[in-house]
Amino acid sequence: MVENDVNDRARPGRGFAMSEDDVRVSKRWLALREAADAAARAQDLVQHLAQEPPATGRWVIHDLACGTGAMGRWLAPLLAGPQHWVLHDRDADLLEVADVPGPAADGAAVTTETRLSDISRLRPLELADATLITASALLDVLGEDELAAVVAACAVTGSPILLTLSVVGRVRLAPSDPLDRRVATAFNAHQRRRTERGRLLGPDAFAFAVEEFGQLGADMLIRSSEWKLGALHADLTSEWFTGWVQAACEQHPELAAEAVDYARRRLTQLAAERLAVTVDHADLLVLPRPAVRIAPS
């Protein structure tokens, strides 16, 4: 799954069949990354959205794979008008605490409901009332068929779709270290690993989504949304780095011996405020053109 969630395997979500291969994300990790995520997302894409408020005057926003609702906590105060957020996730424990308190940019009310869903199996009817669909930090954990299904389910609605913080497989650490590249390559291979649900797209997911929406004739706006981590984010950086290296070693066990010293070196640099990390992500705003919307099946 994303970055350091690789070690967070736990019991399945209550009342929902997650497979053994499904890696769970902890509330702690989501809380740790929330501020960096908020700083990284491309705000100018929201201005494009704001220019075309829903004809009904009320946003109905389906957030796919919402976690604890961080996307909504970022976006709701940036959009004017009443909003109803439908928060989808397959993890019941996360949904239990998921919340988007609002208010909207103009003080309008924000309401929420949660739905235990596998977002790769959404039926068109489930998104039919959407005036906006969002997802954040999701695409890399999906396989090709799953992402194609998500794209199709979203495109049917004809609503705009905002997909933020997709990892694209590029990480920079400064100063550099001879092991950086090998760890990065092994980590990316881990993201593309085969699971019982098929091979995950990992860092290829963003390009795949762009290709799929492109084939549907949608207009798209793409922005980069880097995490720039340094001394101010020591806890997040340390957690991210540790998970990054562990995933790399899980993929290529022959790295493990060297990785012990490497991790010690890097974490010492971090503690001494001598390490800066950039994790590249990309944001995508899809604006379907009415003429090319596909009909609900």
Residue 140 contacts ligand SAM per CB under 6 A: no
Among 75-83, 84-92, 210-218, 280-288, the segment contacting ligand SAM (CB under 6 A): 84-92
Among 116-124, 182-190, 228-236, 259-267, the segment contacting ligand SAM (CB under 6 A): 116-124
Contact 286/47 with Cβ under 8 angstroms?
no
Measured from the CB atom, the residue of 95 and 263 that comes closer to ligand SAM is 95
Measured from the CB atom, the residue of 262 and 283 that comes closer to ligand SAM is 283
CA distances from 50 to 21, 221, 225 (A): 39, 14, 19
Measured from the CB atom, the residue of 138 and 201 that comes closer to ligand SAM is 138
Contact 179/116 with Cβ under 8 angstroms?
no
Q: Which of 73, 91, 255, 262 binds ligand SAM (CB under 6 A)?
A: 91
Q: Which of 45, 49, 75, 141 binds ligand SAM (CB under 6 A)?
A: 141
User: What string marks each residue from 203 to 242 as x (binds ligand SAM by CB under 6 A) or -?
Assistant: ----------------------------------------
Would strands 110-116 and 132-136 be described as parallel, antiparallel, or unpaired? Answer: unpaired
Residue 99 contacts ligand SAM per CB under 6 A: no
Site for ligand SAM in 49-68 (CB under 6 A): 65-67
Q: Which of 40, 61, 89, 173 binds ligand SAM (CB under 6 A)?
A: 89
Residue 133 contacts ligand SAM per CB under 6 A: no
Long-range contacts of 290-296 (CB under 8 A, 24+ apart): 290/158, 291/217, 292/216, 292/217, 292/218, 293/155, 293/156, 293/158, 294/152, 294/155, 294/156, 294/216, 295/156, 296/124, 296/125, 296/128, 296/156
Dist CA 144 CA 202 (whole Å): 10
Buried/exposed code over 225-245 (b: 16+ C-beta within 10 A; e: otherwise): bbbebeeebeebbbbbbbbbb
Residues forming the site for ligand SAM (CB under 6 A)? 2, 25, 30, 37, 65-67, 70-71, 89-91, 94, 117-120, 136-138, 141
